[in-house]
Amino acid sequence: MLLNNSYFYTAPWLGFARKPVFDKKYKQDILDAIKEAGKEPTEFLYNDLLDKYSHYQIDLYEYFYFGMQHRTETEIREYIGNREKTALTQRMNDASLKHVFDNKAETYERFRKFYKRELVLVRIDCEEDKAAFGDFVSRHEEFVVKPIDLYFGVGVRKLSRDGRTAQELYDDIVSERIFGFVAEELIVQDEATARFHPQSLNTVRFPTIRQDDGVKLWYPFLRMGKGESFVDNISSGGVAALIDPETGVLGKAASHYAADVQEHPDTGVHIPGAQLPRWDEAVALVKELAQVVPEMRYVGWDLALSDKGWVLVEGNAAAQMSTQQTLSGHGYRSEFMAELKKMGK
């Protein structure tokens, strides 16, 4: 089977050809990553970061998340970096349907019934959409805005009308130079997840792998915000904890460059051992979601526990694997390749 262009380009054996280019282009990025991690910028660390980046497709932030400086060669090869993850999941998913998840508008349309809340798609300079947005804000004093073309929680905002007109709100939103956005009704979060960090909507990232004989639950984890942040992504400084997929009990937790977190730094709520309620409903929901577009075999589903039960926040094809591998303390390559082999890919 021929490898696709993306996987061919990112193949580890091409690292030697890319290294001179990366060395010049990413020098400052590497130094910034070292500084952010609070490490001394030694020549060894700089060269090791560059080596893992160019030969193993390990992004700069993943180097410290995964503890690459302490890993053996065998352990390093088990980790799936963010760039290689994209290539591997492309082999698992049908590329012709990738647009269903790449564009939040299409995702909302396909999975609308699973959201259990009002939402409206607003395309820039579409008068019909602007009118629908006006109707929406007339019913909601507060709401959430998500750009349809951004990821990792970038651009997600909670807005209040505060006496502003729909046009004033629209102008505020589109000033971010986005292609469009989805405005959605606020989720009323259940106390069981809100208690960890009330300021953010704390969601479960629940990846699934759909095989012909069923749906595999692929290392779910709870994401919690930090500080005054409304978003819960660990890339935005939040806290994450692994979840036992069979029981819904929280396991090891970590935050940005903090490998072991027992209590949430803001609320002091103990994390490992906490039970997420109605977990069987969450499992049933993701298994149903995974069958809606069966050609997309690997998807990361974001779920929230609300006053209406578990609801879908959004779906992500080619969902990242960095957080799960960080929390697990080991890579998933052998397991993921076994799933691909089972599919005959």
Note whether 210 and 294 are within 8 A (CB): yes
DSSP state of 297: -
**Cβ neighbours of residue 9 under 8 Å, at least 6 residues apart?**
none
Pairwise CA distance, residues 263 & 289, whole Å: 32
Kindly tell me if the per-residue pLDDT of 254 is higher than 60.
yes
188-343: CATH homologous superfamily? ATP-grasp fold, B domain (3.30.470.20)
Kindly tell me if the per-residue pLDDT of 15 is higher than 50.
no
Give the pLDDT band (50/70/90) at residue 291.
very high
Note whether 229 and 332 are within 8 A (CB): no
> Residue ranges of the domains in the chain?
5-79, 118-185, 188-343
Average of per-residue pLDDT across 170-175: 89
Note whether 202 and 223 are within 8 A (CB): yes
Give the pLDDT band (50/70/90) at residue 153.
low
Instruction: Give the number of other CB atoms < 10 A from CB of residue 288.
Output: 11
Give the pLDDT band (50/70/90) at residue 299.
very high
DSSP state of 103: S
Kindly tell me if the per-residue pLDDT of 21 is higher than 80.
no
Same fold, 118-185 and 188-343: no
Pairwise CA distance, residues 96 & 84, whole Å: 20
Average of per-residue pLDDT across 310-320: 91
Kindly tell me if the per-residue pLDDT of 177 is higher than 70.
no
**Cβ neighbours of residue 250 under 8 Å, at least 6 residues apart?**
222, 241, 242, 243, 244, 271, 272, 273, 274, 275, 276
The model's pTM is 0.84
The pLDDT tens digits for 92-144 are 999 999 989 987 778 888 998 999 999 898 988 889 999 999 999 999 999 99
pLDDT at 116: 92
Residue 308 φ then ψ, to 5°: -105, 15
CATH of segment(s) 118-185: 3.30.1490.20
Closest CA to 68 of 54, 49, 50, 83: 49
Phi-psi region of 162 (alpha: psi -120 to 50; beta: other; left: phi over 0): left
Kindly tell me if the per-residue pLDDT of 176 is higher than 50.
yes
Pairwise CA distance, residues 287 & 139, whole Å: 33
Give the pLDDT band (50/70/90) at residue 192.
very high
Kindly tell me if the per-residue pLDDT of 288 is higher than 70.
yes
Note whether 34 and 41 are within 8 A (CB): yes
